[in-house]
Structure 1
Amino acid sequence: MEYQYPIDYHWSTDEIVDVIKFYESIEKAYEKGVGREDLMAAYRRFKEIVPGKSEEKKLCGEFEDISGYSPYRTVKKAKEASSNEKIIMRN
């Protein structure tokens, strides 16, 4: 896909890389499926970088607007899944 990920330029390079990994996990869930544990690890790291709910909603909303992929619905499904389950989303 050709779009720019929503990021905060005040983050360190490592933080930007980790947030992009979270977005890529969401993309994988829609495109071919992603392991629940991998997705949840990426989400936990994302939450370390973006601890506030309002900023999380803003960034995830921007990502959904540009990609069509919902981080909220994907993480919700992963939280409800069993530990070794593969998360596969449909548009």
Structure 2
Amino acid sequence: MEYQYPIDYHWSTEEIVDVINFFQSIENAYEKGMGREELMAAYRRFKEIVPGKAEEKKLCDEFEDMSSYSAYRTIKKARESAANEKIVMK
């Protein structure tokens, strides 16, 4: 895809990499499916970096505007799924 991930330049390099990993996990859920545990681990790390709901919503909305992939719907589906299930979005 040809777009930029929403990031905060105040984050460390490691945090930027981890946030990008989270958004790539959302992409994977749409494009080929993603293991629930791996997806939730990426989300938990994302929440360590972006603990506030308002900032999370802002970043996820920016990502959805650019990619058309909903982080909110993906994480909601993962939370409702069984432990070892593969998350496949449409």
1 CA distance for matches of 2:38 and 2:8?
Answer: 23
Letter in 1 for 2:7: I
1 CA distance for matches of 2:19 and 2:39?
Answer: 12
**5+ residue gaps in structure 2?**
none
Deviations 1:14-70 (A, max 9, x none): 000000000000000000000000000000000000000000000000000000000
2 CA distance for matches of 1:82 and 1:21?
Answer: 22
What is the Cα deviation at residue 84 of structure 1? 0.3
**5+ residue gaps in structure 1?**
none
Find the counterpart in structure 2 of residue 34 from structure 1: 34
1 CA distance for matches of 2:89 and 2:68?
Answer: 12
Detail structure 1 runs of 4+ shifted over 4 Å in the superposition: none
Q: Determine what percentage of the aligned residue pairs are the same residue.
A: 79
Scaled by the length of structure 2, the TM-score of the pair is 1.00
Scaled by the length of structure 1, the TM-score of the pair is 0.99
Find the counterpart in structure 2 of residue 72 from structure 1: 72
Find the counterpart in structure 2 of residue 54 from structure 1: 54
Query: Could you say what secondary structure the match of 2:76 adopts?
Result: helix
